[in-house]
Structure 1
Amino acid sequence: MKIAVIIVRVLMGLLFLFSSVSYFFNLIPVPPLEGNMKTFSEGLAASGYLMTLIKGTELICSLALISGFFVPLALVVLFPIIVNIFFVHLLLAPDGMPVAIFVLAGALFLAYAKRDHYKPLLTAK
């Protein structure tokens, strides 16, 4: 299981690293969007800061995942982003579902593998 954790952690880290670096350096052209996905994307862009905040967070957390430092914290920070990625692809852009499923399943797998780190957070005092 230890090797599986390392593989999933590094793959997720590389995916988020590629995604954030691609955003900041415009490495991949954005495909034309339609319908509700276009409206959603325009709303994120109209905020003027939200996509930069999301991609900056992904960049920092991807480095944590790749390096193996602060992995439980990186997963906690990334989880709301991952849930949104999953639901955006589920409801607005189904063509991206395979990647969204991998990211969500990977995050849940890593959280399960690091469950001892989360016990203090889930203890009522």
Structure 2
Amino acid sequence: MKIAMIVIRTLMGLLLLFASVSYFFNLTPPPTNMPQSAITYNEGLAIVKLMTLVKAVELICGLMFLIGRYVTLAVVLIFPIVINIVLFHGVVMPSGLGPGLFLLFGELFLAYYYRRNYAPLFAAK
């Protein structure tokens, strides 16, 4: 199970790192066949600079996954972004659903693997 955790953690780190670096350095062109709702959504994120914050969190969490330090924190930080990726691609652009589902299942696997680290969060005091 430890080997599976390392493989999944590394693949997730590489995917998040690639997505954030390609955003900051404009390495990949935007898709040309985006629906109008996706264009409107992305423009809204760009106006308030929220996409820059999202990509910065992806970069930091990707590095945490690759290095193997603070992985439990990275899982918590990236989870809302992964949910947004899955919902966006599930509802608006189903063509990009694959990487989002991989991130979701990887998140769930890592959360299960590190479940003992999350136990104090749910302890009533």
Opposite residue 72 of structure 1, the aligned amino acid is T
Is residue 44 from structure 1 mapped to residue 45 from structure 2 by the alignment?
Answer: yes
Q: Percent identity?
A: 52
Give the distance between the partners of 1:15 and 1:31, measured in 2 at CA.
Answer: 18
Q: Secondary structure at the match of 1:82?
A: helix
Could you tell me which residue of structure 2 aligns to residue 113 of structure 1? 113
Opposite residue 91 of structure 2, the aligned amino acid is L
Give the distance between the partners of 1:103 and 1:55, measured in 2 at CA.
Answer: 15
Is residue 123 from structure 1 mapped to residue 102 from structure 2 by the alignment?
Answer: no
1:34 shift after superposition: 2.0
Could you tell me which residue of structure 2 aligns to residue 34 of structure 1? 35
Deviation per residue, 1:14-37 (Å, 9 max, x gap) = 000000000000000111222211
Q: Secondary structure at the match of 1:23?
A: helix
Give the distance between the partners of 2:20 and 2:100, measured in 1 at CA.
Answer: 16
Could you tell me which residue of structure 1 aligns to residue 72 of structure 2? 72
> Unaligned stretches of 5+ in structure 2?
none
> CA RMSD, aligned part only?
0.7
The normalised TM-score by structure 2 is 0.97
1:56 shift after superposition: 0.5
For these two proteins, the number of residue pairs brought into alignment is 124
The normalised TM-score by structure 1 is 0.97
Q: Secondary structure at the match of 1:5?
A: helix
